[in-house]
Amino acid sequence: MSADASPSAARRRPAAAEPPDTPTAPRVRQLVLKVHSRCNLACDYCYVYRHADQGWRGRPRVIAPGTVSRVADRLAAHVVRHRTDRVRVVLHGGEPLLAGVDVLDRTVRTLRAAMPAGTTLDVAMQTNGLLLDEAVLALCHTHGIDVGVSVDGGRTANDRHRRHADGRGSFTEVAAALRLLARPEHRARYAGLLCTVDLANDPVDVYRSLLEFDPPRLDLLLPHGNWSTPPPGRRPGDPATPYADWLIAVFDTWYRETPRRSGIRLFESLIALLLGGRSGTQALGGAEPDIMTIETDGTIEGTDTLKTTTASAMRTGLDVFRHSFDEALRHPSLAGRPSGLAALAPACRSCPVVGACGGGLYAHRFRDGAGFAHPSVYCPDLFRLVRHVRSVVTADLDALRRRVTAPPGPAEAAPRGTVHPPVAGAGRAGPAVPAGR
């Protein structure tokens, strides 16, 4: 940022005039607030430190109180203008717990104090768990902060990438933190686990290892990459589907379990989309870009995943001292970019699974010099995964439908609560329906 554009100099400038609000106007529903720009791990796949955008190097380590105040003011003005009754802030980093309990406490108090009556501010935090202790959890209970923890499976799987700068693995520490978080007295604040897929790890072993931490929800993330910088094991244009194979192994295990032990956002979203519902993940369904990121210096950015493309793709040149959130939303890295079908490549628009896939995560469509109007670099994997889930769910729903619509008779004697697949291998109790049906 130039001296002329510094936050302190810019603070005195009036905000630009904004158009009146409309019911369909883009709005921020989730704000990712970077409270600390450094991390106490050195994961080799981290998009913040290991990908194209190296902007973290020039930013303050800890967000300043004045920056938090300005964020709070901007957010309050935004929710008033859009008459938003609920908005979420995710405390983020780097590693947010490096900021310390006092900074986090002050940050949440400042944000909440600025909210207008009638607007609920949900607060969450995404952490590597290394500093998660009773003091932190006391703060989380005080403010209702939901905690998500990043862990990639058991010791071998997790420590493959999630290591300290000196090479030590982090599993022992994160496992201790998760045992603490899963205790009955803290479980209300346990949001879930975030796991990055690695083809080198056995999928079912990873799933079973994560279940040992009794998470209410799992997020399985595909490693970030694009057509110019492909993900590990994914050769652009290759019809092989290694990531679909991995995910399907988890899906089949998870789907067959009754009662349900944990949610998996990717799969639940996919099922919901196939049934005409909405996605709970930006990775499917062509979700609207309603996530805004604020760096520790007050810089406004779009979704963090764009950091994996090129440095310039994320740079908005905007900050909370000079610009409102509505101004920022018009930038191409936020709601100013195409969304929905208009954002997709022609091949995607005519694809039979586009309603569920939605083109995949926006960042995964990128090609250097050509932008984002491409299928996902994961296109073959997404196609196979969608088809597989559809075949399994369709078979189960057909069985349910027959029960609901069956004429009265002996079938009524069957116990409720169990699906009886009419076709061998079609239901959750049988083997998965072959993909590509």
Partner 1 sequence: MTEHGQPPTPVAAGAALVQLGDVPLADLLAGAGDGVLAHVLGALVADSEPGDVSAFESSF
Contacting residue, 303, 309, 310, 333, with partner 1 by CB under 8 A: 303
47 binds partner 1 (CB under 8 A): yes
Contacting residue, 38, 70, 74, 265, with partner 1 by CB under 8 A: 265
- Shortest CB 379 distance to partner 1, Å: 19
Q: State which residue, 107 or 281, has the beta carbon closest to partner 1.
A: 281
d(CA 177, CA 149): 9
Kindly indicate which of the ranges 69-77, 206-214, 268-276, 352-360 contains the residues binding partner 1, using the contact rule CB under 8 A.
268-276
The answer to whether 308 touches 294, Cβ cutoff 8 Å, is no
d(CA 48, CA 60): 15
* Interface of this chain with partner 1, residues 7 to 36, rule: CB under 8 A: 29-30, 32
* Interface of this chain with partner 1, residues 352 to 381, rule: CB under 8 A: none
- Residue 64, burial from CB neighbour count under 10 angstroms (0-12, 13-18, 19+): middle
The answer to whether 377 touches 238, Cβ cutoff 8 Å, is no
Q: State which residue, 19 or 259, has the beta carbon closest to partner 1.
A: 259
Identify the CA nearest to 435 among candidates 397, 394, 390, 377. Answer: 390
d(CA 343, CA 328): 19
In this structure, which amino acid lies at residue 108? V
* Interface of this chain with partner 1, residues 192 to 221, rule: CB under 8 A: 192, 194, 196, 219, 221
275 binds partner 1 (CB under 8 A): yes
- Shortest CB 100 distance to partner 1, Å: 19
Q: 106 by DSSP, 3-state: which?
A: helix
Identify the CA nearest to 282 among candidates 203, 339, 205. Answer: 339
The answer to whether 222 touches 409, Cβ cutoff 8 Å, is no
Hunting for tokens 């652009």 — which residue is that?
236
Site track 151-190 with partner 1 (rule: CB under 8 A), x = hit: ----------------------------------------
Contacting residue, 159, 290, 297, 327, with partner 1 by CB under 8 A: 290
The answer to whether 97 touches 146, Cβ cutoff 8 Å, is no
Q: Which residues bind partner 1 (CB under 8 A)?
A: 29-30, 32, 43, 45-47, 88, 90, 92, 124, 126, 148, 150, 191-192, 194, 196, 219, 221, 254-260, 263, 265, 267-269, 271-272, 275-283, 287, 290-291, 293, 303-305, 393, 396-397, 400-401, 403-405, 407, 416-419, 428
